[in-house]
Amino acid sequence: MSAIFHAGISGARGRMGRAVSAVLDAREDVVVAARFDRGETPDLSLCDVVIDFSTPDSSVELAQTCAARGGPALVIGSTGLSPEQDAEILKAAETVAIVRSGNFSLGVNILIGLVEHAALRLDARDWDIEITEAHHRRKVDAPSGTALMLGEAAASGRDEDLDDVRAAPWDGITGARESGKIGFSSIRAGGIIGDHTVLFASEDETLTLSHSAIDRSLFAKGAVAAAAWVRGRKPGLYDMQDVLGFRQA
């Protein structure tokens, strides 16, 4: 059995926080040292790492707190952060180790690699890319963090920056599609956990790569794996590609 480590949970009463709690409570190598939510002041002194599924504001505040005190390490799963908030997380990572991801699923992270490879091989002049994501009615940000990760992978495969090739939403009289653009569509309905599809379409054929989440616990298990991996790491901003060993040196 691995050495016991002490974990905290930020956003503990939320849907993902409860899922993380269930996974941690079932493990013999973890002690949950703190469970807290927005507006509460946790005692982080006993935590080796904190898993955060809260809100953008709370995630930034937590990262700043951990950076100021030199720890603990962080796993951040909150999505919908602004560029300014992204910058604050990056600044905190100069002092503490942070794993940040829009999706902690093994399958999604494999999908990211497949999308980047396909985009590299399929000429942007001939192949359009559309990313569709579907989530439950309570999700407040769109496109999802995972959809943006997939878009970034597709843009990277084409040696582009997503901000430069992201298409405006299709609504009204938009005119013909501009070559090389990457489009996004979002669905919010019922209790959908998370579905993501990347469509590559030419005049002659289509290629569809997709992933569907069946049980929310898969994200919690991935976040806990990230927590076990990041504790004791040197300061820096990491993602699941690092945790899973997919990142090439």
DSSP, residue by residue, 135-169: E-TT---SS-HHHHHHHHHHHHHTT--HHHHBPPP
Instruction: Kindly state the tokens that stand for 180.
Output: 């090389």
Check if the beta carbon of residue 249 is closer than 8 Å to that of residue 113.
Answer: no
Element (H, E) at 186: strand 182-188
Check if the beta carbon of residue 215 is closer than 8 Å to that of residue 161.
Answer: no
* 196 counts as catalytic: no
Q: Which of 144, 155, 162 is nearest to 213 (CA)?
A: 144
Strand-strand pairing, 5-10 and 30-36: parallel
Q: Name the catalytic one among 6, 91, 117, 139.
A: 139
Check if the beta carbon of residue 154 is closer than 8 Å to that of residue 116.
Answer: yes
* 139 counts as catalytic: yes
Q: Name the catalytic one among 135, 196, 211, 221.
A: 135
Show which residues are catalytic: 135, 139
